[in-house]
Amino acid sequence: MSIAVRPIKEAEWPAFVAVAYEAFSSTYPLEITDRWREIMEIDRLVSAFDGDLAAGCAGALSFRMTVPGGPIPVAGVTSVGVLPSHRRQGVLTALMTHQLHDLHDSGREAVAALYASEAGIYGRFGYGRAADALSFRIPTHGSAFTRSAPADPALRLRVARPADELARLRRVYDAVQPGRPGLYGRSEAYWRAEILPDTDHDRGGMGPLRCLIAEDASGPRGYALFRARSGWNEHNVSDGEVRLLELHAVDPAAYALAWRGVLDRDLCAVVHAERRPLDDPIMHLLAEPRRLNAVWIDDLWVRLVDVDRALAARAYAAPADLVVEVEDEVCPWNAGRWRLKVAGGEGTCERSEAPADLTLPVGVLGAAYLGGRPLGAAADAGLVREHRAGALRELSAAMAWDPAPWGCRVF
């Protein structure tokens, strides 16, 4: 078998989709495919061809994603798949290597990020687990807020039709996004294709998409998007559920009010909230935080395409001056020693011939890039080798960031 990886042509879009659907065992209706096409960039889609047969696919979305210090261009890697007939034959390696080399050659983005369908796949291509998330299952009965929960009498909660509120939702999200590493900018097309659709397929057995907006006379300050399902058990006691899709707010009072609106919904016994940030304030708002029933999952995976450009693009929390030796078999231009010098929160990164202060794989740097992964645990796992005492703590302190990284919605 001879595999050739190349960009697809517009006429090859159906074949690209067919590979993705087969790889993910998907049964999306045509309308979903049409929506998907609205946000996919043909010139950023590649397929692996076995002769004339498209056997693998991979794409990238042109995002501005927040990193410590603010948003930068990031390639949002998506739709990566291989036909079952061609797995374990080097097709995925060919796709991922081609994509990374293309990113480097084009210079478009120094950083790539993705959501992994399986957590064990992408580490071998230099991606690091850079963000985690929590999923909650909150019984509404007895989930009272603390007495100190913030409140603002000027705020009110309004039930709204999501499709009519795009401008207000964007106003809140766009205000929140630059402050949270991992959040990525959303175009109007992305909102309409990925966030606000409400077909039977999108509902997945739940009710229609619903919206609560926390606002005052000046406009929206927070919102919650969710679906609800009514139901009663055998004793005729209501056991409906709410599935929270996202909740954002620009200040604590609006955040608390939006959460109250979700948790106080009549006839609903439980709220499922998937992919919430590790530092979600709801943990401090509930009088009994054990009722969150939290489950920890991986969120964003990050890959430094060009180590020097990526490290110079973000801000830092502490000064540092050290030489890092990077191990990178997939992107050899990254391998070797780099001097990272940080002063006043800004960093420079240049090639160095000086002895290394520590050595680590590029995936460990990717995991630490958004500021939420201290390096000590990686060192304890044998992934980082410290050559100068204190270098590990120095680099870890510099790369740390608050708030915790979080991508919110899978792309």
Q: How confident is the model at residue 214, as a pLDDT?
A: 98
Q: Are 71 and 178 within 8 A, CB to CB?
A: yes
Query: How far is 344 from 332, CA to CA, in rounded Å?
Result: 31
Report the 3 state secondary structure along 281-306.
CHHHHECCHHHHCCEEEECEEEEECC
Claim to verify: residue 251 and residue 309 sit in the same structural domain: no
Q: Decide if 82 is inside a domain.
A: yes
Q: Are 267 and 230 within 8 A, CB to CB?
A: yes
Q: Decide if 118 is inside a domain.
A: no
Claim to verify: residue 39 and residue 140 sit in the same structural domain: no
E strands along 148-207, which residues?
156-160
Q: How confident is the model at residue 301, as a pLDDT?
A: 98
Residue ranges of the binding site for acetyl-CoA: 80-82, 88-93, 117-118
Query: How far is 395 from 251, CA to CA, in rounded Å?
Result: 32
Q: How confident is the model at residue 408, as a pLDDT?
A: 98
Q: Decide if 119 is inside a domain.
A: no
The domain boundary, picked from 247, 267, 298, lies at 298
pLDDT in tens, 38-56: 999 999 999 999 999 999 9
Band of the pLDDT at 29, cuts 50, 70, 90? Answer: confident
The domain boundary, picked from 73, 94, 109, lies at 109
Band of the pLDDT at 28, cuts 50, 70, 90? Answer: confident
Claim to verify: residue 217 and residue 319 sit in the same structural domain: no
Lowest mean pLDDT among 22-26, 367-371, 388-392: 22-26
Claim to verify: residue 183 and residue 266 sit in the same structural domain: yes
Number of domains in the chain: 3
- Residue 142: pLDDT above 90? no
Claim to verify: residue 151 and residue 86 sit in the same structural domain: no
Going by the DSSP 8-state scheme, the letter that residue 194 receives in this structure is I
Please provide the size of the chain in residues: 411
Its pTM stands at 0.96
Looking at residues 252-263, what average pLDDT do you find? 98
Q: Decide if 406 is inside a domain.
A: no
Active site residue 411: yes
Claim to verify: residue 165 and residue 202 sit in the same structural domain: yes
Q: How confident is the model at residue 282, as a pLDDT?
A: 98
Sign for the CA dihedral angle at 314, 320, 322, 327 comes to negative
Q: Decide if 148 is inside a domain.
A: yes
Claim to verify: residue 314 and residue 269 sit in the same structural domain: no
Sign for the CA dihedral angle at 265, 245, 139, 253 comes to negative
- Residue 2: pLDDT above 80? yes
- Vertex 310 angle, CA 309 and 315, to 5°: 110
Claim to verify: residue 283 and residue 340 sit in the same structural domain: no
Active site residue 226: no
Choice among 63, 122, 127, 173 that is catalytic: 122
Q: Decide if 126 is inside a domain.
A: no
Q: What are the tokens at 47?
A: 């397929």
Q: Which domain holds residue 168?
A: 133-298
Claim to verify: residue 284 and residue 138 sit in the same structural domain: yes
Query: How far is 404 from 375, CA to CA, in rounded Å?
Result: 15
Residue ranges of the binding site: 80-82, 88-93, 117-118
Claim to verify: residue 100 and residue 145 sit in the same structural domain: no
Claim to verify: residue 288 and residue 309 sit in the same structural domain: no
Q: What is the CATH number of the domain that holds 63?
A: 3.40.630.30
pLDDT in tens, 197-232: 999 999 999 999 999 999 999 999 999 999 999 988
- Residue 236: pLDDT above 90? no
The domain boundary, picked from 279, 298, 317, lies at 298
Claim to verify: residue 310 and residue 161 sit in the same structural domain: no
Q: Decide if 123 is inside a domain.
A: no
Choice among 125, 255, 316, 411 that is catalytic: 411
pLDDT in tens, 155-167: 999 999 999 999 9
Q: How confident is the model at residue 376, as a pLDDT?
A: 97
């097309």: which residue's tokens? 189
Band of the pLDDT at 316, cuts 50, 70, 90? Answer: very high
Q: What's the whole-number average pLDDT of the chain? A: 96
Q: Decide if 389 is inside a domain.
A: yes
